[in-house]
Structures are given as C-alpha cells and as structure tokens.
Amino acid sequence: MSDNQLLEVIERYLNGDMTAAERKEFELLRKENADVDEKVVEHQLFTNLLKQYAERVELESRLNAIHEEIDVHTLKEDLMVHPSWIVQLWRHHHSKISVAASVAIFAVLTGMFFAGYFANKEPGYEQLSNKLDRVEASTNQLNNKTNALAKQMGSKNHMRSPGNYRGSGFALSSNGYIVTNFHVVSGKFDSLYVQNADGDSYRAKLIYSAPQYDIAILKINDDSFENLPALPYNLKRSKSDVGEEVYAIGYSEGDSPVFDRGYVSSLNGYKSDSSEYRISIPVNPGNSGGPLINNKGSIIGVVSGKQTETEGASYAKKAGYLFKAIQNVPLDSLSGKLSLNNKNTLAGLSRVQQYKKMQKYVFMVKVY
C-alpha cells in the first residue's frame, strides 16, 4: 500500500466513510502498526489545524466587517479622556506654543536689550542734567547771596563774618549782659560776637568767667546795639523738682534758635554734680549756654552739656549758681549796671507765645 493509498484510507477512516467491517480491520491495523497510528494522529491534527485556521480567518473577516460599521473616529473623540482644556491645548498645539513662546521670549529679550540700552543711558543723562541744573541754580543762589551780602555789608555796619559759632547765650539784662557757658568762650580767641534770632551780630566782650560753675558773662559792646526791651523772664533761685517740665532754647541748628522740650530727671548732674540738673532733653552742642526754662517762663538753669554715653542725658547749671556767679562779678569790670529782672511776664502764656517772646533774648555766641 503506497503512502498515497494509505492517506486515502486514513481520510476515509477519519471522515467516517468506512463500512463497519472496514473500520474494524483498519483499527486493528492501527493497533498493530504504530507507524500507521502515528500517521492517523498526525493527519488528524494537521487537518484540524487547517480547519481551525480557516475558521479563524473567517471569524476575523466577520469581526472586521462588523468593525467597519463602527464609527471609530467619533467614538475615539468621545472616549478620549480629556484631562483639562489646558493640557489638551498643550498636547494639540505644543509645537506652536513652543515656537510662539520662543519668539515671544526672543522679542522680549531683544526689546529689553534695546530699551534697556536706552533706559540705562537716559536716566544717567537726566540725572546729570538735573545735577547741572541744580549746580547752576545753586551757583545763581550763591551769587545772589553774595551780592546781597555785599550790599548789606556796604549799607550797614553790621559785621557778619562767617566765624565759628560755639554755643548759645541769653540776655541777663536789657542793656546787653549775656550769660553763656564758660566752656563756650574758654581758650584763646581774637574776638567774640553774639548774633540774635534776626541774624544781627554784635561784638561782645567777656566780662567775667566762673570756670567752677562753667559760667561766663559777656557784654555786648557794639555801637549798633540798641537796648533790648524789658526782659520778660526772671531767674528762679529756688530749686526745681524732678519731673518738672522744662524747655531749652538754643542755636543747635544753624541760624535760628531751636526749641526743645523735656523734664528735670535728677537734681544732681554729671557724676552727682550738685551744681547741675540732669535733664531729659535732646540737646546738641550748639545748645550750650542756652536757657533752661520751666513752664512758667522762669530760667531755672543754663544748658551745659550732655553725656556722650547715655542717650537723652543732658545737664544744666542750676540758676542758683548763675546768681552766685553774677554776684561775684567785680563791680569795676562792669561797663553798665547789671540789673536782674525780677518780673516774669511769661507765666500764663502759651508755649508758643513764650517762645516768641523769649527768642529775641537768646543769642548765638560766636568765637573767632
């Protein structure tokens, strides 16, 4: 039996085309001949695979046909999870957005480069021109001042020399006696001037000094000086109390007197100096020699200094020691009567009014 014939027999057997007798005979042959049996099994497997393959192809074509009918594109649009419009926008247009962003950044940088280039220069020029303007203006101002000064000096006899002003002082009497601190006028000097709040300077001379109390008495010795109106304040001989409100007037800042307020913080001064009050007033070097006034307008002391290490600690010589100093002035050195004022016309006036009246009697002491 050739292979060809055997195959035909196997096929007939597998298809069930055999008669019962033939079938029996063939099954016997399968049992006896392993080779035949193997061929039967193999053929069956192979043809089944072929059939299944065909079925699969057919099924796939059916599925494909069904698939064709589905509108996949619309479904896809619907089913795509859209995270958020911004992410979507990015996904769809990220290349465009990137390009746009790059262009924008480039444009901004370019713009900044050019704008910045000018921006950096322009303010410079502006500033410079401003400065030039200012310089010009100040030069003009200076010229005007100089001219005015020259005129003034030509018309009036008043000496207005630049000078080093050292401190303040105040009038003791209307005829030109002025008290200041000894340390203001200590040391060598050629000449002494006092200047009032209006800016008029008068030559003065040192009458008496009491270094132990840090007090010096000057007398205006100038032809252009006219007697002051009657003094509105007096000297308070008795001691003041701690906590009493006090005021200081002094030339701590330029040409006009400065008014400061504080209180007596101790009856003893620097290193327990009993000739001084410790006061809590923000005073500056120019204040030295200025009056310390209580709220009634009486002089209670002469501002004399401040502690460098403690903020807000200043000192004033007690008025009682000023008295002592005045009493000690030798009569022969007086060029006019030194009569102290005992009437106080300031009491009851407002602070503003007191200051207005007082300021005429407070002088800047300049030493050359």
Residues interacting with another protein, by CB under 8 A? 3-4, 7-8, 46-47, 49-54, 56, 59-60, 62-64, 66-67, 69-70, 72-73, 75-76, 78-81
For another protein, the closer CB: 8 or 255: 8
For another protein, the closer CB: 7 or 101: 7
The nearest distance, CB 98 to another protein, in angstroms, is: 22
Q: Token pair for residue 51?
A: 């059939």
The nearest distance, CB 124 to another protein, in angstroms, is: 57
The nearest distance, CB 87 to another protein, in angstroms, is: 13
For another protein, the closer CB: 3 or 311: 3
For another protein, the closer CB: 73 or 188: 73
For another protein, the closer CB: 8 or 22: 8
For another protein, the closer CB: 62 or 121: 62
For another protein, the closer CB: 82 or 156: 82
Quote the CA–CA distance of 78 and 72 in Å, as a whole number. 10
The nearest distance, CB 86 to another protein, in angstroms, is: 18
Asked whether 149 and 190 are in contact (CB, 8 A), the reply is: no
The nearest distance, CB 74 to another protein, in angstroms, is: 9
Asked whether 172 and 326 are in contact (CB, 8 A), the reply is: yes
The nearest distance, CB 96 to another protein, in angstroms, is: 22
The nearest distance, CB 55 to another protein, in angstroms, is: 9
Of the candidates 315, 307, 341, 314, which has an alpha carbon nearest to the alpha carbon of residue 326? 341
> Residue type at 174?
S
The nearest distance, CB 106 to another protein, in angstroms, is: 34
Q: What is the 3-state secondary structure (H, E, C) of the chain?
A: CCHHHHHHHHHHHHHCCCCHHHHHHHHHHHHHCHHHHHHHHHHHHHHHHHHHHHHHHHHHHHHHHHHHHCCHHHHHHHHCCCCCHHHHHHHHHHHHHHHHHHHHHHHHHHHHHHHHHHHHHHHHHHHHHHHHHHHHHHHHHHHHHHHHHHHHHHHCCCCCCCCEEEEEEEECCCCCEEEEEHHHHCCCCCCEEEECCCCCEEEEEEEEEECCCCEEEEEECCCCCCCCCCCCCCECCCCCCCCCEEEEEECCCCCCCEEEEEEEEECCCHHHCCCEEEEECCCCHHHCCCEEEECCCCEEEEEEEECCCCCCCEEEEEHHHHHHHHHHCCHHHCCCCCCCCCCCCCCCCCHHHHHHHHHHHEEEEEEC
For another protein, the closer CB: 67 or 356: 67
For another protein, the closer CB: 20 or 80: 80
The nearest distance, CB 1 to another protein, in angstroms, is: 13
For another protein, the closer CB: 71 or 190: 71
The nearest distance, CB 17 to another protein, in angstroms, is: 11
Query: 115 to each of 103, 107, 108, 112, 128, how far by Cα in Å?
Result: 17, 12, 10, 5, 20
